[in-house]
Structure 1
Amino acid sequence: MSARDALAAALTEAGIQLPAMDIRTPWLDVRAGEPPYALVQLGVCAAPVAHALAEVIARGAVR
């Protein structure tokens, strides 16, 4: 949950709210011996929210 919580906090600080953020069940890739991890499901967002998110990411990438 920490990844989802960190992302949610950063988005909130940037003034962006996604309608749903969920954690998918972790799994273990036994073939690669990798530790289990979960996927953060971001949900569906409106085009203006996607544009706002893209702008925030672009500004951060310039730093």
Structure 2
Amino acid sequence: MRTTEEAVEQLDTALRGVGIILPSLRVDPITGASELPYPLVELGCCNLQVAADLAAVLRNAAEA
């Protein structure tokens, strides 16, 4: 299984590949430092345009 950091990097790369930048994307510091087996990924906030762009990318992927 890949690490949480690798998953965040892969998600960031994939999103940037379709023009989506989530500036707050990161490993959740609380669960990342705990002994839980699966740390959470924090997607963070984005502006209205990024949210609309992300929705469009997801819609297009669902239709493909």
Is TM (by shorter chain) over 0.5?
yes
Q: Please, which runs of 5 or more residues in structure 1 have no aligned partner? A: 29-35
2:41 corresponds to: 40
Displacement of 1:20: 1.1
Size of the aligned set, in residue pairs, is 56
RMSD: 1.3
Q: Determine which of 11, 20, 32 is the counterpart of 1:7.
A: 11
From the two aligned structures, give the one with the greater helix fraction.
2
Q: Percent identity?
A: 39
Q: Which has the larger radius of gyration?
A: 1
Q: Please, which runs of 5 or more residues in structure 2 have no aligned partner? A: none
In 1, Cα distance between equivalents of 2:42 and 2:50: 16
Runs of 4 or more, structure 1, over 2 Å off, are none
